[in-house]
A and B are shown apart, each in its own frame.
Chain A
Amino acid sequence: MSKTLLEMRGITKTFPGVKALDNVNLKVREGEIHALVGENGAGKSTLMKVLSGVYPAGSYEGEIHFDGQVRHFSTISDSEHLGIIIIHQELALVPLLSIAENIFLGNEVATKGVIDWKQTFRRTQELLDKVGLKDSPGTLITDIGVGKQQLVEIAKALSKKVRLLILDEPTASLNEKDSDALLKLLMEFRTQGMTSIIISHKLNEIKKVADQITILRDGGTVETLDCHNEDISEDRIIKGMVGREMEDRYPAREPDIGETLLEVKNWNVFHQHHRDRQFLHDVSFTVRAGEVVGIAGLMGAGRTETAMSLFGRSWGHKITGDVSMRGKPVDVSTIPKAIDAGLAYVTEDRKHLGLVLINNIMHNTTLSNLNGVSSNMVINDRQEVKVASDYRSKLRIRSHSIYQETVNLSGGNQQKVVLSKWLFTNPEVLILDEPTRGIDVGAKFEIYSIINQLAAEGKGILMISSEMPELLGTCDRIYVMNEGRIVAELSKAEASQESIMRAIMRSGEKH
């Protein structure tokens, strides 16, 4: 067995009033892929911040052994110097600089401050070859997709003589193809002897690549599983994360489907920026009362664009098509009109598009329906408090009060605030775009339960998700989208991961 590269012993980190880490142990062997899993707030990020020196030595208890020696990192550059490199979930690339400039940012190939561009480009090319990126080093970051940007980050790490590569949710915003490519790359690096730590919520991916899995829960180490000694199932990992067996990841529901609520016919939309490119072609679908309808598809298939163009023309231009609600044509040309028509759109990007993070729970809850708590434009404070408190308890938003700023909430609770906001507009059809992205297992279950509850109340739900098991577990009917078209409609009985993928692939061949 290879030797231990990193050992973190008895790490305890306290913030005022909260013990974020409590006697955490982590042992990473040289040349392995070590997965770190746990619910949001379990302490994964804090642990990595301790390791990288964001929290300097002395601000926590415990010891860090790296390469056989006790280390005290007081800044990030201390840990980087030893080859410990973190790639954060939110990528730290400058959009308007080139790949080469980004890779060597702060670490330029220069003599006396004058950059040697020839050398920079040559070395960038070498690094890009290593990570299998075919774009030229001069390409601007803004012109390449998130998947490629992730590769640039890895190339940047490689440029620094990395010994231990830490990836925080590397595949969270990637489609399946890019995710697969990234994971393959990691496995390739492993054969070359590189050690990596991967933090992820996607258990199927972890199962695929990890040699060992360390599970954190509530700031403590639960256990470390060795994937080579036993066959570790996803349920086994979940059990460790939540502390109990999750018999069913998707709460059961008896669908009671009524009349057609939303009907969209021949929805054609041109691209927001490339204005002569048609992006959506004759998209038609229906959502009925009490029904949960899914839209499956790869990233870029046009799912979010369908939702946003429908919701007050928030995306695209030259939009044509018919929308009706309960059989009557409705005007959804602006967001207020779409809301009046009974639509609500829960965005996939809750931090940038869903919440006003610096405002509190109450203000976010009532934002879309201020008229519901005011008369003659004057807000009735008491009514507003009551509305916010009701939703807080109904959706079980964990917070110390409705006055807590939403920036301080966990992902799951933030999502519940966004849901509260839209529920308060009393919509007939809710469009949920990736409603459980970046949310831990326990909170996901709660979100599914809320969805079921809404369906039971007779609302129509249109759910966009990149996680196929989630769609299969919650939806009554699934539309499959590819390249701006609806390519299949599958009933619950017909739908499976295979049938969805088959529909996507087959439609791809046709064009």
Chain B
Amino acid sequence: MSTDTVTQRTQPSVGEYLKKNIREYGLLVALVVIMIFFQILTNGVLFRPVNITNLVLQNSFIVIMALGMLLIIVAGHIDLSVGSIVAFTGAMSAIMLVKWGLPAVVVVPLAILMGAIMGAAQGYWVAYQKIPSFIVTLAGMLVFRGMTYVVLSGRPVGPFPKEFQVLSTGFVPDFLSITDPSTSLIKNYVALVAVLLLVGYAFYAGLRERRLNAANETENEPFGFFAVQMAIIGIVAIFIGFQLSTYRGLPNVLIIMGLLIALYTFVTTRTTVGRRIYAMGGNEKAAKLSGINTERLTFYTFVNMGALAALAGMIIAARLNSATPKAGVGFELDVIAACFIGGASASGGVGKITGAVIGAFIMGVMNNGMSIMGIGIDYQQLIKGLVLLAAVFFDVYNKNKG
């Protein structure tokens, strides 16, 4: 029997590998298919430079919050309060900027601290008092929304100084300026060059990883998969980079988002903190008995979520150029949906940052595509709901079959 052998690992066959990792490839393929689908249905509007820029701006905050939510869900919890934290931190930063006249460099860290404290206030009840996170954050959702109304007295506050707006509507200036932007097709070379460098690095890092894995008899994906995956990601990235560079270049938000995605991917896959969160979500009691301070870990997961929600709150406020009491209503659901579409398990212990990011973009492209096509918000909700159900069913089906 195969399970009885203590032989060294052989490379898995292509079919075997595909079966084992169908979820990840399936997700990537789904995103590409959905993009092409809407590209055709919108007569090419989807991939226009302006629209790609919009797509990034519209989804950045969902992606940023999905990073924190993924950790929460992997830890075996849920956070329903993020939409309200978005509203409150957005409102407070508006008040600090507009009414108190504080500079943006002071307001941004203060607001993030405020979000962290709101996360801590909830994390305390979940981690140390063992109240189910669903209930705690449902309460938080109501409390923080109410607080928003109170501090804003029910009225929007704005507009903001330029230095704050660049947080979400600014672009990285073209310090390269190779050609004259008024005549050339490419208006901003930074985007293109940055993307080319990134793709090149990703390819190099991927190859290096494979070489090291091979030297250590660690599992490697078949080379064909690696190549095809790299090619798809590379082509899509370069295309998007090119499109962006023909418009206004790299949005600042994209940089923030990219850095955060990289950071959280690293934390979840390579650090002890990440490993402990997965272990805790997989079996909290066993993790605790293995010497992991599960209470503190849970607490900080919520603190982290609050901080990210605050960042998202400021990006949203900056984009709309005003803070309103209704900001972020329903965002928690988009964020949670992104994580589940991305393959996170509702029972904890399973989920990947890349999955949540792709999940967020699947939702984003669908939102954007359907809006361009003029589909009403009613049908949009209906379709998004079905996509969520289908994605999770796909997971369950695969698990039962395997």
> Which chain A positions have C-beta within 8 A of B218?
381-382, 385
* Assembly CA distance A357 to B283 (angstroms): 8
**Chain A, residue nearest B285 (CB):** A353
**Contact bitstring B20-36, A, C-beta under 8 A = 1, else 0:** 00000000000000000
Which of these binds chain B: A1-9, A96-104, A318-326, A365-373? A365-373
Count of interface residues, chain A, beta-carbon cutoff 8 Å: 44
Given A18-B1, A357-B282: A379 in contact with B287 (beta carbons within 8 A): no
Given A358-B349, A370-B272: A352 in contact with B6 (beta carbons within 8 A): no
Q: Does A421 contact B (CB under 8 A)?
A: yes
Q: Does A336 contact B (CB under 8 A)?
A: yes
> B289 and A379: CB pair below 8 A?
no
**Chain A, residue nearest B218 (CB):** A385
Q: Does A363 contact B (CB under 8 A)?
A: yes
> Which chain B positions have C-beta within 8 A of A357?
282-283
**Chain A, residue nearest B289 (CB):** A353
* Assembly CA distance A254 to B271 (angstroms): 43
* Assembly CA distance A371 to B273 (angstroms): 11
> B5 and A356: CB pair below 8 A?
no
* Residues 264-322 of B at the A interface (beta carbon under 8 Å): 270-273, 275-276, 278-279, 282-283, 285-293
* Assembly CA distance A355 to B271 (angstroms): 20
Give which listed residue, A354, A359, A382, A401, contacts B212 with CB less than 8 A: A382
Q: Does B216 contact A (CB under 8 A)?
A: yes
* Assembly CA distance A401 to B287 (angstroms): 22
* Residues 111-161 of B at the A interface (beta carbon under 8 Å): none
* Assembly CA distance A453 to B254 (angstroms): 57
Q: Does A493 contact B (CB under 8 A)?
A: no
Give which listed residue, A18, A336, A352, A425, contacts B286 with CB less than 8 A: A352
Q: Does A117 contact B (CB under 8 A)?
A: no
> Which chain A positions have C-beta within 8 A of B275?
363, 366-367, 370, 379
* Assembly CA distance A335 to B272 (angstroms): 17
**Smallest CB–CB gap between B398 and chain A, Å?**
14
**Chain A, residue nearest B348 (CB):** A358
* Assembly CA distance A399 to B3 (angstroms): 5
Give which listed residue, A311, A358, A371, A379, contacts B270 with CB less than 8 A: A379
Given A358-B349, A367-B279, A370-B276: A400 in contact with B2 (beta carbons within 8 A): yes
Q: Does A314 contact B (CB under 8 A)?
A: yes
* Assembly CA distance A335 to B276 (angstroms): 15
> A352 and B282: CB pair below 8 A?
no
* Residues 344-398 of A at the B interface (beta carbon under 8 Å): 345, 347, 352-359, 363, 366-368, 370-371, 374, 377-379, 381-382, 385-386, 392-393, 396, 398
Q: Is chain A's binding surface mostly helix, strand, loop or mixed?
A: mixed
* Assembly CA distance A379 to B212 (angstroms): 15
**Smallest CB–CB gap between B242 and chain A, Å?**
35
Given A359-B282, A385-B218: A368 in contact with B271 (beta carbons within 8 A): no
**Chain B, residue nearest A340 (CB):** B291
> Which chain B positions have C-beta within 8 A of A396?
6
* Assembly CA distance A476 to B191 (angstroms): 72
* Assembly CA distance A368 to B350 (angstroms): 20
* Assembly CA distance A216 to B276 (angstroms): 41
* Assembly CA distance A377 to B276 (angstroms): 11
**Chain A, residue nearest B7 (CB):** A400
> Which chain A positions have C-beta within 8 A of B1?
18
> B286 and A371: CB pair below 8 A?
no
> Which chain A positions have C-beta within 8 A of B283?
352, 355-358
Give which listed residue, B4, B5, B279, contacts A363 with CB less than 8 A: B279
**Smallest CB–CB gap between A14 and chain B, Å?**
12
**Smallest CB–CB gap between A219 and chain B, Å?**
9
> A398 and B4: CB pair below 8 A?
yes
> B270 and A378: CB pair below 8 A?
yes
> B290 and A421: CB pair below 8 A?
yes
Q: Does A447 contact B (CB under 8 A)?
A: no
**Smallest CB–CB gap between B207 and chain A, Å?**
16
> B291 and A336: CB pair below 8 A?
yes
**Smallest CB–CB gap between B401 and chain A, Å?**
11
* Assembly CA distance A396 to B4 (angstroms): 10
Q: Does A145 contact B (CB under 8 A)?
A: no
Most buried by B among A311, A312, A358, A403: A358
* Assembly CA distance A334 to B270 (angstroms): 26
**Smallest CB–CB gap between A257 and chain B, Å?**
29
* Assembly CA distance A403 to B285 (angstroms): 22
> Which chain B positions have C-beta within 8 A of A400?
2-3, 5, 9
**Smallest CB–CB gap between A217 and chain B, Å?**
13
Q: Does B163 contact A (CB under 8 A)?
A: no
Give which listed residue, B217, B273, B286, B292, contacts A353 with CB less than 8 A: B286
**Chain B, residue nearest A17 (CB):** B2
> Which chain B positions have C-beta within 8 A of A359?
278-279, 282, 349
**Smallest CB–CB gap between B183 and chain A, Å?**
48
**Chain B, residue nearest A338 (CB):** B291
* Assembly CA distance A399 to B290 (angstroms): 23
> Which chain B positions have C-beta within 8 A of A371?
272
> Which chain A positions have C-beta within 8 A of B286?
352-356
* Residues 351-400 of B at the A interface (beta carbon under 8 Å): none
> A335 and B291: CB pair below 8 A?
yes
* Assembly CA distance A17 to B282 (angstroms): 28
**Smallest CB–CB gap between A40 and chain B, Å?**
12
* Assembly CA distance A403 to B17 (angstroms): 13
Give which listed residue, A18, A312, A314, A356, contacts B287 with CB less than 8 A: A356
> B270 and A345: CB pair below 8 A?
no
* Assembly CA distance A377 to B292 (angstroms): 14
Q: Does A339 contact B (CB under 8 A)?
A: yes
Q: 17 A–B contact pairs at CB < 8 A?
A: A18-B2, A314-B289, A336-B293, A354-B286, A356-B278, A356-B282, A356-B283, A356-B349, A357-B282, A358-B283, A358-B350, A359-B279, A363-B275, A374-B271, A385-B216, A392-B6, A400-B5
Sample of 6 further A-B pairs with CB below 8 A, known A370-B275, A379-B271, A381-B218: A18-B2, A18-B3, A357-B283, A367-B287, A393-B6, A425-B291
List the 3 shortest-distance A-B pairs measured between CB atoms, nearest first.
Answer: A356-B282, A370-B272, A368-B290
